[in-house]
Amino acid sequence: MTYQVTVKPSGHTFWAEENETVLDAGLRQGVALPYGCRGGMCGSCAATILSGQVHYPFGEPQGLTPAEMENGKALLCMAAALSHLEIDSPQVGAEPDIEVKTLPVRVEKMRKLAADVMELTLKLPASERLRFLAGQYVDILLKDGKQRGFSLANSPLDDSFLELHIRHVPGGFFTSHVFNEMKEKALLRIRGPLGSFYIHESERPIILIGGGTGFAPLKGMLEQMMAQGLEKPVHLYWGVRAKPDLYMDSVVRSWVSRHPRLTYVPVLSEPQPQDNWQGRTGWVHEAVAADFPDLSAYDVYMSGPPPMINAAKKAFLAQGLAEAHLYYDSFEYSPDTLKAMQEDKA
């Protein structure tokens, strides 16, 4: 069966087969539905079902509470239509129209930024440019249809190369390859730009929160905002375990010295004696919550590990942040890994 999906308030319509996710159907037909992990975890693709019915033939999403489901919320990356649908997804239509390309890239440079973080500088073919918005990500395409998402750490103002900050995940298929085998000049295939994590036009002051390599997309955003003059207050919080994990601390401090509207608060969760750390400690989202008891006037952008994102979402919404002003990329594992992990558990 094929069902019609109508998106409100934009009025876009598309058709969904019963054996595909609503997200896949929309993207296939050029409707820019928002999404992040594509594995039912991060919640970026959440929409409200205004009429009709969906189900989850590919597994129940972990990123929705039973109460949210009861209130009609669905995660479109996992949901399939059981009838014609009317869905509420306010971001659709507000998305800029940027072509998603699949391109070969060459690893121009590899630089170890910390014990478990590698910077990759990727060079595009001479005749190609990748149009993207600061903060978006690309998928690295591997064999057997596998893909791994990594945020773009540079701004599109200099798009002759792409910069990635890759954390080594112990036992991880691709990141172990990067750390143990990959050499400069290696060839990769990428697909992008992807995702809706980029700066949205607004007059409101901004809080940026990065956990670990969650700093990467924020770096791209900041480079772009600084190039445009940084006219409103921007507060950057960067949470890591110990001091060496602040792998671009001196770069950020040099930005702060040149941009009076930019503030920077590094937060260590496990400072080591040799760090001789006098700064903030604990979880980065708790530092933000303590410094901004009322978040109702802010736009918040955060990226990093899923536990940080989930805890921060809860804390910030309780402190007055409007859901519409919270933007995030949750660094989930790839859909194939999440699926394999779920199958192993079952």
Ligand X SMILES: Cc1cc2nc3c(=O)[nH]c(=O)nc-3n(C[C@H](O)[C@H](O)[C@H](O)COP(=O)(O)OP(=O)(O)OC[C@H]3O[C@@H](n4cnc5c(N)ncnc54)[C@H](O)[C@@H]3O)c2cc1C
- Closer to ligand X by CB, 150 or 327: give it: 150
Indicate the residue whose CB is closest to ligand X.
172
CB 40 within 8 A of CB 75: yes
Q: Give the Cα separation of 50 and 65 in Å (integer).
A: 18
- Closer to ligand X by CB, 26 or 149: give it: 149
Nearest approach, Cβ of 61 to ligand X (angstroms)?
15
Using CB under 6 A as the binding rule, whether residue 149 contacts ligand X is answered as: yes
Nearest approach, Cβ of 239 to ligand X (angstroms)?
14
Sole binder of ligand X in the list 70, 144, 181, 344 (CB under 6 A)? 344
Residue 195 burial (CB < 10 Å; 0-12/13-18/19+)?
Answer: buried
Sole binder of ligand X in the list 66, 171, 273, 293 (CB under 6 A)? 171
Angle between the N-to-C axes of helices 306-318 and 284-291, in degrees from 0 to 180, rounded to the nearest 10: 20
Residues 31-50 close enough to bind ligand X by CB under 6 A: 36-37
Nearest approach, Cβ of 290 to ligand X (angstroms)?
27
Is the link from the previous residue into 9 a cis peptide, with omega within 30 of 0?
A: yes
Buried b / exposed e over 211-250, threshold 16 CB at 10 Å, is: bbbbbbbbbbbbbbbbeeebeeebbbbbbbeebbbbbbbe
Residues 194-223 close enough to bind ligand X by CB under 6 A: 195, 213, 216
Q: Beta-carbon neighbour count of residue 282 at 10 Å?
A: 12
Sole binder of ligand X in the list 163, 223, 245, 329 (CB under 6 A)? 329
What string marks each residue from 271 to 310 as x (binds ligand X by CB under 6 A) or -? ----------------------------------------
Using CB under 6 A as the binding rule, whether residue 137 contacts ligand X is answered as: yes
Strand partners, 239: 211, 267
Sole binder of ligand X in the list 7, 255, 333, 335 (CB under 6 A)? 333
Nearest approach, Cβ of 260 to ligand X (angstroms)?
29
In the structure encoding, which two tokens stand for residue 196, read together?
């809706």
Give the interface size with ligand X as a residue count (CB under 6 A): 30
Using CB under 6 A as the binding rule, whether residue 132 contacts ligand X is answered as: no
Nearest approach, Cβ of 346 to ligand X (angstroms)?
11
Where are the extended beta strands (E) located within 89-151?
101-114, 117-123, 137-141, 147-151
H-run or E-run covering 227? helix 215-227
Sign of CA dihedral 75, 77, 81, 84: positive
Using CB under 6 A as the binding rule, whether residue 116 contacts ligand X is answered as: no
Using CB under 6 A as the binding rule, whether residue 334 contacts ligand X is answered as: yes
Sole binder of ligand X in the list 121, 151, 155, 196 (CB under 6 A)? 151
Using CB under 6 A as the binding rule, whether residue 115 contacts ligand X is answered as: no
Look up tokens 């990748």; give the residue.
Answer: 130
Q: Give the Cα separation of 342 and 234 in Å (integer).
A: 39
Q: What backbone phi and psi angles, to 5 degrees, belong to 61?
A: -70, 140
Using CB under 6 A as the binding rule, whether residue 172 contacts ligand X is answered as: yes
Ramachandran class of 293: left when φ > 0, alpha when ψ lies in -120 to 50, beta otherwise: alpha
Using CB under 6 A as the binding rule, whether residue 150 contacts ligand X is answered as: yes
Sole binder of ligand X in the list 154, 155, 175, 196 (CB under 6 A)? 175
Look up tokens 């595009």; give the residue.
Answer: 124
Sole binder of ligand X in the list 169, 226, 242, 311 (CB under 6 A)? 169
Binding positions for ligand X, rule: CB under 6 A: 36-37, 137, 148-151, 165-167, 169-176, 195, 213, 216, 329, 331-334, 337, 340-341, 344
